[in-house]
Structure 1
Amino acid sequence: MTTAPSPVRDPAWSLPRSAIGLWLTESLINAAITVAVVVALLVWIPDDLGGPMPFLRWAVPIAAAVDVVVTVAVRPWFKHRVYRWEITADAVHTRTGWLSQTWTLVPVSRIQTVDVTRGLLQQVFGLATVAVFTASSQGTVRIWHLEHGMAQRVADDLAARAERVRDQAT
C-alpha cells in the first residue's frame, strides 16, 4: 500500500465492526441478483448457437462466481481496513474507497450543514452516516456507517463548532 501524499495523513478512527455486517449483507444481496441474472442468461442462451457464443455457457458462470467470491469474501473486510475518519480541532478528515482511495479534508470553518441519515440496512445494523456539507460542490464529506449514537454526537459537535467559528468571524 502506498503512503498518503504529504500533508495528508491517515485518519485515526476506523468504522465499527458492524459495518462489515452491513457490507456483507449488501454483498449477499448483490450476489443473489448476480446469480439470478446468470441463471436467466443461461436459460435464455440457446444450445445451438454457432460461432464464438457457446463459450458463454462456461465463461458467464465463472465470471459471476469470481465476482461473488470477491464481493462477499474480500470486499467487506478490505473496506473495513481502508475506511477511516477523524475530527480534529480544525477539520473533518476521511479516507474512503476500497480500490481507488480518496482522502478528504474539510475545514470546520467551511462547514455549512451537518446531517445524519440512516438507510434501511443501516437501521438494521444500528448505524448512521454523517454528511458534512460546505458551499463547494466538491466539499461534501460523509462519514459512513458510524454507530447511531456516535453519529448523532459527531453531528452535534460539528454543528456547534461550525456555529462558533461563524460567530467568531462576524
Structure 2
Amino acid sequence: MTDTGGTPVLRAPAHQVSPRAVAFWTVSALIGDAVLVLGALLAWLLVPGMPGWVGLLVLLVAALAVAHVVLMPRIRFRVHRWEVSDTAVHTREGWIGRQSRIAPISRVQTVDSRQGALMRLFGLASITVTTASAAGPLTVNCLDADTAREVVARLTAITAATEDDAT
C-alpha cells in the first residue's frame, strides 16, 4: 500500500484480540485501582492529623481510577491488533501511546503462551514471540485461548520450515 506520493504505508495488522479482552482488562484495572484507592482512603482516614487537602487528593485519585477502568479497556480493544503471515509477525498495542512491531519469521527463536488465572476465567491467553532482536519479544495479549493455541502451532510449523537460523 502506498500514499498519494508513492511512499509505502504500513497497514494495521489484520486481526483484533478477543472481544472478551474488554471485560478482562476492565476487571484487571478494577482490581488494581480498587487496591490503590482503598489504600489511599484508609491512609487518609487512619493516620491522625492528616490534612483535609489529602481527602481531595484521594477523591481525585478515585475519579482518575474510574476513568481508567471505563476508558482504558475500550481504547485498548480498538488499538490492539495482530497478524501472523508466512513471512512475519506484526503487532500493534497501546492505549495512550502506540507501538507497532514487525518481526520476520526468520528472526523468531521461541513462541510461548501464557494464561494466568484471571485470563483462564475469561477464556483468554497471550502469546510471546521471542526474536533475535534487541527490542525484545513481541506479545499478543488477550487472544481467545483456542486461537492462541492455533497461532502457536502455526508459528511453530512456519518457523520449523524456515531455513534461516534466527540469529
TM tier, smaller: 0.7 to 0.9
1:54 alignment partner AA: G
Moved segments of 4+, more than 6 Å: none
Equivalent residue, structure 1, for 2:97: 100
Q: Residue 144 of structure 1: CA displacement?
A: 0.7
Equivalent residue, structure 1, for 2:147: 150
Matched, 1:66 2:63: yes
Unaligned runs of 5+ in 2: 1-6
What is the RMSD of the two structures over their aligned residues, measured on CA atoms? 2.2
Matched, 1:41 2:43: yes
What is the number of equivalent residue pairs in this alignment?
160
Question: Aligned equivalents of 2:99 and 2:137: distance in 1?
Answer: 13
2:146 alignment partner AA: G
Question: Aligned equivalents of 2:60 and 2:19: distance in 1?
Answer: 29
**1:13-24 correspondence to structure 2 within 5 Å:** 13-24=15-26
Equivalent residue, structure 1, for 2:79: 82
Equivalent residue, structure 1, for 2:53: 55
Retained in 1: the 8 A contact 2:40–2:58?
A: yes
Retained in 2: the 8 A contact 1:106–1:139?
A: no
Q: Residue 108 of structure 1: CA displacement?
A: 0.6
**1:115-130 correspondence to structure 2 within 5 Å:** 115-130=112-127
Question: Aligned equivalents of 1:36 and 1:166: distance in 2?
Answer: 55
2:11 alignment partner AA: R
TM-score (norm: length of structure 2)? 0.87
Question: Aligned equivalents of 1:44 and 1:14: distance in 2?
Answer: 45
Unaligned runs of 5+ in 1: none
Q: Residue 57 of structure 1: CA displacement?
A: 2.3
Question: Aligned equivalents of 1:15 and 1:81: distance in 2?
Answer: 9
TM-score (norm: length of structure 1)? 0.85
1:12 alignment partner AA: A
Q: In structure 2, do the counterparts of structure 1 residues 57 and 102 end up closer, same or farther at CA, with 3 Å as the change threshold?
A: same
Retained in 2: the 8 A contact 1:116–1:151?
A: yes
Equivalent residue, structure 2, for 1:159: 156
Q: In structure 2, do the counterparts of structure 1 residues 168 and 40 end up closer, same or farther at CA, with 3 Å as the change threshold?
A: closer
> Is the partner of 2:106 in helix, strand or coil?
helix
% same residue: 32
- Out of 64-73 and 103-112, give the one that drifted further: 64-73
